[in-house]
Each structure stands twice: as C-alpha cells, then as structure tokens.
Amino acid sequence: MKLELRGITKRFGALTANDHIDLTIEPGEIHCLLGENGAGKSTLMNVLYGLYQADEGEIVVDDVEQRFSGPGDAMAAGIGMVHQHFMLIPVFTVAENVMLGHEQTRFGGRLDLAAARAKVREISDRFGFHVDPDAIVEDLPVGVQQRVEIIKALSRDAQVLVFDEPTAVLTPQETDELMATMRQLREAGTSIVFITHKLREVREVADRITVIRLGKVVGEAEPTATNAELASLMVGRSVELTVRKDPPKLGDEDLVVSGLTVTDEAGTVVVDDVSFSVRGGEVLAVAGVQGNGQTELTEAMVGLQERVDGSVRLGGSELVGRSVRDILDHGVGFVPEDRSVDGLVKEFSIAENLMLDRSHGAPFVRNGNLQLRERDAFAHEKIDEFDIRTQGPSQPAGRLSGGNQQKVVLARELSRDLSLLVAAQPTRGVDVGSIEFIHTRIIATRDAGIPVLVISTELDEAAALADRIMVMYRGKVVGIVPGDTPREQLGLMMAGMSPDAAGAASGEEASA
C-alpha cells in the first residue's frame, strides 16, 4: 500500500503544528520521522490515524483520497497505530483485547473469542512473538504488551503501522527485539512509520528518514548519515553529543543510604539491603536493566514507598519515615521516571506546574496570596531557559508535546534550592539538542557541590554523567565502579556478575 500525505496543515489556535507537510510512505519501507520536541511529529500521526482532522491537505491511499473522521476509518483503510501509552484493557486477556478492537472498527467483521485466540496464535507464530492468547495483559512485561498492540493492528490487516516513540519505555533487549520485528514486518510488505529520538535506532533500521522542524519538512537524510549530521539537521545547529565535565571536586558524604529495604504490596522484597553514599559535587549513576529495583529505590528516598526499612540520611537528617512534602522541603529535587503519573498535573497550566511544590511559600505565595506576577515572570524565564515550546505559560501542560512536558518537570526541579538531586530517566523522550542542555545542567548542579543520583537505563547516559556507577540486579547492589568502567564489564554486571568476575571476563573477551 502506498500512502501519501499531501499538504497537511493542522493548527491549534495561533499555532501551526503542521505546515503543509508532504510525506510519502512507500510499500514495505521503514520510514523514520525525526525532529525536535514540538516539531509536529505526533500531531501529523494523529491526523493520519483520524484522531485529529487536518485544516488543509489530503490523505491518499493507493491513489484514492480518503477522509478519516476517526481511528475506525483509518483502520478500515489499513492504517494501524501502536501508542506509547497503550490502549489495552489491563484486566482482559490478550485475545479479549484483540477482539475488542474489531468491535470498534466500523467495517471490520465481528470476531468471536475462539477466532480471536486462533488469530493471536497465528500472528504470534508468524512473527515468533511467543504471546499467549489467554494471558492477562497486566501480567505481561511492557515489551510483550507492545507486541499485543502490534497483533491487534495486524489482526485488522494494517498495512501501514505507526510507532510513536515505542522504544522510550523498553529495555535495551526489548528494543532489539522490536527492531527485529520491524524488519520482519517490512519483509512481509508492511510499511512502518517510526518515531524516535535515539539516533542509533534510526541508523539501524531506517530505509528513509524525513526530518521535521517547526511543523515543516526540512529535508530527507540518508540512513548512512552520522549522528552529528542527523542531529544538526533536526536542530538546525551543531550539537555536542558528548558531555564535557571536569574532574569532580568532592565534598562531604552528604547522602548516606544504609540497609535500605523496600517491600512491595505483595510482600516481595524489591530493594534488598542497599547501601551507598554520594558526596557533594559527585554524580552517582544507577545502571541496570529496568525492573531491578531502581524505581522503588528512588521512590523510597523521596517518601513515595510505604514499606521501607533502613536509613537515608541527608546532611545528617533522616529522611525515612517523613512525608513527601517534608522531604521536598528539605531541598530534594526529584525527577520521576514517569512524568505523566508523578511529575505533572496535566490540567494545570505550565506556570502552575512550574511552581507545583512551592505553592505554599515565598516568593510565589505571600500572606496567603498567590503572587501571579512573580509566578508568570518565573514561568517566562524557565520557558526561555529550557526552550519549552509552548504558546505561553497559561497553556495546560497536557497539551505540550511529550518532550516538552519532560522539560517542564526538569525546569522545576533543577531551579529549586537543592541539597540533593534524584533524577530518574532525565532525558526520556527528549530530543538531542535538549539532551545536551539537560546534561549540562545536571553537571552544573554537581559542580555547585550538590550530590546527584541519576537513574538511567541508557548505559551511554549513565556513563556520560557518572563519576561512579552503581549497578543493581534483583534489588541488590552488584557493585559500585568508576564512571569510566568499560561497557562490557557493566553489561555483565547488569546480568548479576560481580565487578571482579565481570572485569576478568570482559578483559578476556577484549584480549581474545
């Protein structure tokens, strides 16, 4: 199937999010869309999927002009979308979820459960997905849930599949598997539109690359282009892809965590007797495959976990047992892993979100009165400084593009008077230009003498920022090693091997 978007224009009030965009998707190609946060990629895909109606332009499928008044129409025309926040019903089985999709399509026939199970099995076998039709969706890892979304789309004969930042939530291994799936789909004749901010992924799978900037197509790039070339085409200037930092000027052991243990609701120990310390002026990065206790560790430190034993001492005061409010007031900056759940109130304006945790004190509140002028001045300053692409401080945060929402959280947390920064996946969903800026700010925080704890599933990011790296596996600390430890050794530690054994094994590999 050949898909053409011709002159697509989509406006939100005064903002032109898509400005006469032409894009052709050839049969059986993987077409990457690259662009800065807020460039208009998701908007364009939402127009294609019938979620938004274009103000101008047309969608043409195999030379026939189409009108999509909703996703049902797009699906009927052979267009499927794998959303970043999955649309699956968690308590239903895989087969039930696949069946539901069919009831929603306008032209698709109804499926019964037996047929749905057979369909799941057939598609799963065809692509080697290993998805059990009777599994309950909420019990499945994120990567497998994503495959269920793919199966759902394929069961409706999707010939063009749109993936909007699918790898942001995946582990490196799940990402590799998804890339393999995309190639398989391409071999089977399905076209893929793939949006990602990770240039490595683009260069690995793309047949063609289209770059969008400020709502317009600015050009095509070759998959053979270097990271630096792709980055400068996206951002319109050259981008520093490595973090510059001076050796740390170490201060006192400001943060001392000892014997920290967290138990989840089911009684499983998810953080197991974890001890470490971070000095002022130092970045400790926590690396490890996602799901090995890193999330619960950070949550326990800021008071978001209930069953916590052990101690977290910051500048001599104990944080365990205190409320979140109290801990934040203590100068702890916290960038949560999932901004849409913990970081932002989507209905609130950007200005309100930027002062969210300071709404009870100076300078924004004096004698019980909200100081609107100070609040708005602060918001304007942060919007400039962090390059938040918005129509203004009163825009609801939920209307921002994904990466710009992340920048609001970072702007708020990095602008406080900090005694500790805990940042989980700080650059998730953020474009390369903004990654450069955020990394610079994190290093500036460290250089101001503040202890910094960074959690990242991106080994590149952990290695770039860290003075020391702590690897976690199954809730335990495997080891704490210098920031320049070779990747192979870190990789083995992430699988549970001790630092010494991993060092020896990776050394052998290197000399073999």
Ligand X SMILES: Nc1ncnc2c1ncn2[C@@H]1O[C@H](COP(=O)(O)OP(=O)(O)OP(=O)(O)O)[C@@H](O)[C@H]1O
**CB 113 → Mg ion: shortest distance, Å?**
35
How far is it, in rounded angstroms, from Cα 354 to Cα 379? 7
Cβ(43)–Cβ(18) below 8 Å: yes
Phi-psi region of 7 (alpha: psi -120 to 50; beta: other; left: phi over 0): left
**Which CB atom, from 248 or from 403, has the smaller least distance to ligand X?**
403
How far is it, in rounded angstroms, from Cα 394 to Cα 456? 32
**CB 21 → ligand X: shortest distance, Å?**
11
Tell me the per-residue interface mask from 18 to 37 with ligand X, x by CB under 6 A, - otherwise.
Answer: -----------------x-x
Contacts of 267 (CB under 8 A, 6+ apart): none
Paired tokens of 189:
């004749």
**Cβ-proximal residue to Mg ion, closest one:** 42
**Which CB atom, from 48 or from 289, has the smaller least distance to ligand X?**
48
- Choose one: 38-46, 174-182, 313-321, 496-504; the region binding ligand X (CB under 6 A): 38-46
Question: Binding Mg ion by CB under 5 A: which of 303, 402, 433, 451?
Answer: 402
**CB 133 → ligand X: shortest distance, Å?**
33
**Which partner from the list Mg ion, ligand X, none does 40 bind, CB cut-off 5 to 8 Å by kind?**
ligand X
**CB 396 → ligand X: shortest distance, Å?**
8
**Which partner from the list ligand X, Mg ion, none does 248 bind, CB cut-off 5 to 8 Å by kind?**
none
**Which CB atom, from 35 or from 483, has the smaller least distance to ligand X?**
35
Chain centre distance of CA 86: 13
Q: What length is written for the chain?
A: 512
How far is it, in rounded angstroms, from Cα 10 to Cα 40? 9
Cβ(226)–Cβ(199) below 8 Å: no
40 is an interface residue for ligand X by CB under 6 A: yes
38 is an interface residue for ligand X by CB under 6 A: yes
Considering only residues 419-458, where is the footprint of ligand X by CB under 6 A? 431
Q: Find, among 438, 188, 455, 456, the residue nearest to 297 by Cα.
A: 455
183, burial (CB in 10 Å: exposed 0-12, middle 13-18, buried 19+): middle
Considering only residues 31-90, where is the footprint of Mg ion by CB under 5 A? 42
Tell me the per-residue interface mask from 363 to 402 with ligand X, x by CB under 6 A, - otherwise.
Answer: --------------------------xx--------xxxx
Question: Binding ligand X by CB under 6 A: which of 25, 42, 343, 477?
Answer: 42
50 is an interface residue for ligand X by CB under 6 A: no
- Residue that the structure tokens 């893929």 belong to: 192
Which amino acid would we find at residue 70? Answer: G
CA end-to-end span of the chain: 48
Number of residues that bind ligand X (CB under 6 A): 20
> How many Cβ atoms from other residues are within 10 Å of residue 394's Cβ?
12
**CB 251 → ligand X: shortest distance, Å?**
36
How far is it, in rounded angstroms, from Cα 239 to Cα 304? 36
- Choose one: 1-9, 12-20, 113-121, 236-244; the region binding ligand X (CB under 6 A): 12-20
**Which partner from the list ligand X, Mg ion, none does 38 bind, CB cut-off 5 to 8 Å by kind?**
ligand X
Sign of the CA dihedral with 100 first, then 101, 102, and 103 last: positive
403 is an interface residue for ligand X by CB under 6 A: yes
Strand 79-82 relative to strand 3-12: parallel, antiparallel, unpaired?
unpaired
Question: Binding ligand X by CB under 6 A: which of 404, 434, 457, 506?
Answer: 404
434 is an interface residue for Mg ion by CB under 5 A: no
Contacts of 23 (CB under 8 A, 6+ apart): 4, 5, 8, 31, 44, 210, 217
How far is it, in rounded angstroms, from Cα 413 to Cα 302? 13
Question: Binding ligand X by CB under 6 A: which of 2, 4, 6, 12?
Answer: 12
> How many Cβ atoms from other residues are within 10 Å of residue 495's Cβ?
12
**CB 336 → Mg ion: shortest distance, Å?**
19
Paired tokens of 217:
């197509």
Paired tokens of 259:
């014997």
**CB 17 → ligand X: shortest distance, Å?**
4
**Which partner from the list Mg ion, ligand X, none does 445 bind, CB cut-off 5 to 8 Å by kind?**
none
- Choose one: 41-49, 130-138, 330-338, 488-496; the region binding ligand X (CB under 6 A): 41-49
Q: Find, among 438, 434, 388, the residue nearest to 408 by Cα.
A: 388
405 is an interface residue for Mg ion by CB under 5 A: no
Interface residues with Mg ion (CB under 5 A) are 42, 401-402
Interface residues with ligand X (CB under 6 A) are 12, 15, 17, 35, 37-43, 389-390, 399-404, 431
